[in-house]
Amino acid sequence: MAPVAPQLAGPGAIAVILTIVALLQWAVWCIDRDPAFRWFGASSAITAVLAWAEGMPGPAAVVPAGAGLVIACGARIGWSVGLLAQLAWPFARRRGPLLALALPALALALAASLAGSPTWAALALVWIDLGGAVLCLGARPRRASPWVLAAGLIAAPAGLLVALAGGSDPLHLLAGYAVPAAVLSGIAQLAASLLQQSLDHRSTRAQAERMSNYYQTLTETNQAVLRIRAPAALYQAICDICVETGHAQMACLYLMRDGLARREITAGPAARILAGIPVEWDPASPSYRDSYTARALGDGQRRVCNDYQHDPLTTSWHRLAAQNGIHAMVWLPFRRGERVAAVLMLSATERDYFDAPLLQLLDRMSQDVSFALDFLASEQQRVDSMREAQASLERFSKLFQAAPVPAAIVSTRDRRVLDVNQAVCERDGLPREHFIGKATADFGFGVVPEDREVFYALVAREGRARNFLARSIDIRGRARRVLVNAEPLEYLEQACLLILVLDITELQEAEEARRAQAEAEAANRAKTQFLSHMSHELRTPLNAILGFSTILREEAAERLTPDQRVQLDHVRHAGWHLLTLIDDVLDLARIESGTIKVDARALLLPSLLDEVLDMARPLAAQLGVTLDAAHHTPPATAVRADATRLRQVLLNVLSNAIKYNRPDGGVRVRVLPTEDGDVAIEVADSGIGMTPQQLARLFEPFNRLGRERSTVEGTGIGLALSRQLMALMGGSITVDSQVEVGTQVRVHIPRAELQAIPQDTVPGALPGPAAPALPTGAVLYVEDNAVNTLLIESLFARWPGVTVHTATDGRSGIARARELVPDLVLLDMQLPDVDGLEVLRTLRADETTRRVPIVVLSASAMPGDVERALAEGANDYWTKPIAFERFLGAMAGVLGERSPPGSVRPVTASRLRGR
């Protein structure tokens, strides 16, 4: 069989081919600066030089001999270095493959050189070619150019095997192996380079198209972000963009709602692919916890799976992915502030689809959408804030205008009025336009300038004003007192003051009136307390004076001379006159303080007038005045009045008519009907009369109208008290008088029906006489005043069967009452240790003494004291000085009505009163 080299071409052609290959390789290195082609070019150039140097006339001449074989193997080893560089082996990892190729080849080359046989050198070259082919076939990533290069490296050994199979001489074939192998590998390397450049060009163009799609996606995403204002619509637009631009097979968006992961939005075939999967995903389920969706929603980190059908985390979804050609997926979180708002899931039909550039694009898109969500949230907050601000302004305006207190909004910069409410307009009778835009100092009314400056200084110092009291002039020029309050606020983007002005002129006047009233009431109470105290202090000695003078008059009358009896009567008369004065003063004080009470009821007027006339006759007889009574003319007259108070008024009027009369004068008493249906009691005298000036001041208390120096006794308070008593009973008093002619007084009283009078009632009747039999029993008198004790002991001494026991304080009185269980307890209210009311309560609470009659003897004549004592259980209340005959008659009745021991029944107050 002919050698391989001559069959391929002639020796010169082979050298030329090697030279061309070397030049082309060097040209590629010069253009691309690929370090592999530097080694390839050097190896091809050395092989071409060896081929030319041998001057090959035949096949044997091509094979280098001696040192040429070593050079040829070295060139081939250099070519191996270039091969490792072209296959992109890391520099640190090239040592192993290079030694595996180089060491055996060098060993065979040295053996061939030493033996002078080209066979071993050819075997070294075959070893390098086969090893290089193996490296090309095992290259990663798998590309077409290494496979072409591997084919060129295998071609020479394959041709050698074919020739051997055809019966060619092995030694001859091995001797001609080097040059064809170099030619074939060089051509294969150039072809692989051209193929790789073509593939790179195509990849570059695809990458350019892909980048164009990337930027188109970003552009459409940004447009959607700028155009869309609703998050849901923005999500839908992003899903559609990712599918329509070819970056995803399908898209769906998950978000958390009501504690569940919900597939809210889909694009592409997602609705069909996920039709059998529930829209809501329970976070408690294992399938959710182990999913990429849950992880992205949980920590907000992007997740990528470029081999979905082989990922262990997606095992439960592999079948669905295989059915729909899903090979890669990515999960992109969308943030709103610090939390994950949603997760966008994209799928692709290619494995390793989501490479670094695409992920960079998707991350940027995620950031843009997150920014848009933040912007939409802040924009919504801004809109909500504006709406709330507008609503607040409207609410404030409504409240401001509806406020009942005059209010204004004033700029703090120039003190100009920005707005006033309706109350200001109504107060001043001016429209709002009159105030707005003007400074507060330009109106000519309002807070006076001095107080206005103090007010603004206070606001400047403290930022607000609370209840600032200021003087003001209203629009009518009247002086007013106002309270001014100011609070800072922002109104129409200006720093302002909300000023409220409250006119307190009437309130202040009312407060002053209340204060004056309170002071007057306090003064009245003080006066009442003073009068009560003075009454008590005066009644106590009067009780002794009247009591002992009465006892002396009765028991020592026979031992007294007529002059002494007259003197004693003067003492008693003066005492009773002083008592009357005290009672009148107290009554007047009670009326002024509003504490006096009247018990108006129906009563027969003729009977009461008879009683009053009987009481006045001794004075009339003493002064020589005739009483003419014409009040019994039928029919009988009934009036509504307090019997005691009406008796007091009539006795006062009748006494004045007698005292201010002339000797041998007369007084006429008549009962007349009035035009309004009431009753008038007319008392007309023929006395000295009064001038008009005196009539004008007739009812002034303590004004005797110039009669102070006359011999007629009086205090000047009788008529003043009478008129006020009649007013309390619904009546009145009128007076007509002429000097030296006389005076006519009419007492007007409301009429009553006769049927309203109880049949057994006799107004003004005094108690009946005491029981004929002398009373007996034990009497306990609790009193700290020795004179009063002596007086009561002297009064009861006329009854031998009555024993009087005494106690000088409350505690000893309680102890004595429990020890004696007396038939009657006489109790003073002002004791040195405890109050008389406390003694009352204690005795009424004790089973031993609760049924013993208790009669109060006190110098306090105030109605409140009487009412409190009766309320605590007193059977009766007698004020000092007492009317002794009536008192003894009442006490005789109490002691005479004693029941057997253990069955004493209390005597009611109504039976014991009537002093």
Q: Map residue 779 onto helix, strand or coil.
A: strand
| Domain of residue 448, CATH code | 3.30.450.20
- Look at residue 276 in the predicted model and tell me its pLDDT: 79
Answer whether residue 613 shows pLDDT above 60: yes
Domain that holds residue 459: 402-508
Residues of the chain with pLDDT > 90: what percent? 19
Q: Are 69 and 118 in contact (CB under 8 A)?
A: yes
Condensed to tens digits (0 to 9), the pLDDT of residues 55-77 reads 543 333 434 444 555 666 777 77
| Domain of residue 782, CATH code | 3.40.50.2300
Residue at token pair 């035949």? 58
Using pLDDT thresholds of 50, 70 and 90, give the confidence band for residue 589: low
- Look at residue 329 in the predicted model and tell me its pLDDT: 94
Question: Residue 52 falls within a domain, yes or no?
Answer: no
> How far are the Cα atoms of 129, 543, 551, 568 from residue 554, in angstroms, in the given order?
174, 16, 5, 11
Question: Residue 674 falls within a domain, yes or no?
Answer: yes
> How far are the Cα atoms of 225, 355, 891 from residue 327, in angstroms, in the given order?
30, 13, 126
Q: Count of domains in the chain?
A: 4
- When mean pLDDT is compared across 674-688, 812-826, 841-855, the lowest value belongs to 674-688
Answer whether residue 659 shows pLDDT above 70: yes
Average confidence (pLDDT) over 841-870: 86
Using pLDDT thresholds of 50, 70 and 90, give the confidence band for residue 915: very low
- Look at residue 196 in the predicted model and tell me its pLDDT: 65
Using pLDDT thresholds of 50, 70 and 90, give the confidence band for residue 909: very low
489 or 7: which carries more pLDDT confidence? 489
Q: Are residues 359 and 256 in the same domain?
A: yes
- When mean pLDDT is compared across 627-636, 652-661, 810-819, the lowest value belongs to 627-636
Answer whether residue 155 shows pLDDT above 80: no
Question: Residue 247 falls within a domain, yes or no?
Answer: yes
Q: Are residues 621 and 721 in the same domain?
A: yes
Q: Are 771 and 892 in contact (CB under 8 A)?
A: yes
Instruction: For residue 460, give both structure tokens.
Output: 């400047």
Q: Are residues 745 and 687 in the same domain?
A: yes
The neighbouring-strand residues paired with 856 are 827, 877
Q: Are residues 483 and 440 in the same domain?
A: yes
Average confidence (pLDDT) over 201-219: 74
Q: Are residues 723 and 841 in the same domain?
A: no
Question: Residue 69 falls within a domain, yes or no?
Answer: no
Answer whether residue 698 shows pLDDT above 80: no
This model's pTM is above 0.75 = no
Instruction: For residue 602, give both structure tokens.
Output: 């129906």
Q: Are residues 349 and 261 in the same domain?
A: yes
Q: Are residues 346 and 452 in the same domain?
A: no
Question: Residue 513 falls within a domain, yes or no?
Answer: no
Q: Are residues 240 and 374 in the same domain?
A: yes
Q: Are residues 211 and 322 in the same domain?
A: yes
- Look at residue 325 in the predicted model and tell me its pLDDT: 92
Q: Distance (Å, rounded) from C-alpha 465 to C-alpha 468?
A: 6
Condensed to tens digits (0 to 9), the pLDDT of residues 313-328 reads 888 889 999 999 999 9
Q: What is the DSSP letter of 634?
A: S
Average confidence (pLDDT) over 204-223: 76
Q: Distance (Å, rounded) from C-alpha 44 to C-alpha 52?
A: 12
Using pLDDT thresholds of 50, 70 and 90, give the confidence band for residue 231: confident
Q: Are residues 352 and 446 in the same domain?
A: no
Using pLDDT thresholds of 50, 70 and 90, give the confidence band for residue 167: low
Q: Are 51 and 99 in contact (CB under 8 A)?
A: no
Q: Which residues contact 542 (CB under 8 A, 6 or more apart)?
A: 575, 578, 579, 582, 880, 881
- Look at residue 57 in the predicted model and tell me its pLDDT: 38
Answer whether residue 644 shows pLDDT above 70: yes
- Look at residue 648 in the predicted model and tell me its pLDDT: 83
- When mean pLDDT is compared across 14-28, 234-248, 753-767, the lowest value belongs to 753-767
DSSP string, 811-867: HHHHHHHHHH--SEEEE-SB-SSSBHHHHHHHHHHSTTTTTS-EEEEES---HHHHH
Question: Residue 762 falls within a domain, yes or no?
Answer: no
Answer whether residue 415 shows pLDDT above 60: yes
- Look at residue 343 in the predicted model and tell me its pLDDT: 93
Q: Which residues contact 432 (CB under 8 A, 6 or more apart)?
A: 419, 420, 424, 425
Boundary of a domain, candidates 467, 492, 508: 508
| Domain of residue 259, CATH code | 3.30.450.40
Condensed to tens digits (0 to 9), the pLDDT of residues 713-754 reads 666 677 777 888 888 888 999 899 888 888 999 999 998 887
Boundary of a domain, candidates 350, 381, 412: 381
Residue 25: which of 15, 38, 9 has the closest Cα? Answer: 38
Average confidence (pLDDT) over 748-763: 67
Give the strand order in the sheet containing 250-257: 280-281, 260-267, 250-257, 339-348, 328-336, 303-305
Question: Residue 153 falls within a domain, yes or no?
Answer: no
Residue 630: which of 582, 574, 668 has the closest Cα? Answer: 668
Q: Are residues 818 and 883 in the same domain?
A: yes
Using pLDDT thresholds of 50, 70 and 90, give the confidence band for residue 908: very low
DSSP string, 675-688: TTS-EEEEEEE-S-
823 or 178: which carries more pLDDT confidence? 823
Question: Residue 563 falls within a domain, yes or no?
Answer: no
Name the average pLDDT for the chain.
78
Q: Are residues 264 and 350 in the same domain?
A: yes
Average confidence (pLDDT) over 373-378: 85
- In the chain, the amino acid numbered 479 is A
Answer whether residue 7 shows pLDDT above 60: no
- Phi then psi for residue 710, to 5 deg, are -85, 175
- Look at residue 911 in the predicted model and tell me its pLDDT: 31
- Look at residue 3 in the predicted model and tell me its pLDDT: 39
- Look at residue 900 in the predicted model and tell me its pLDDT: 37
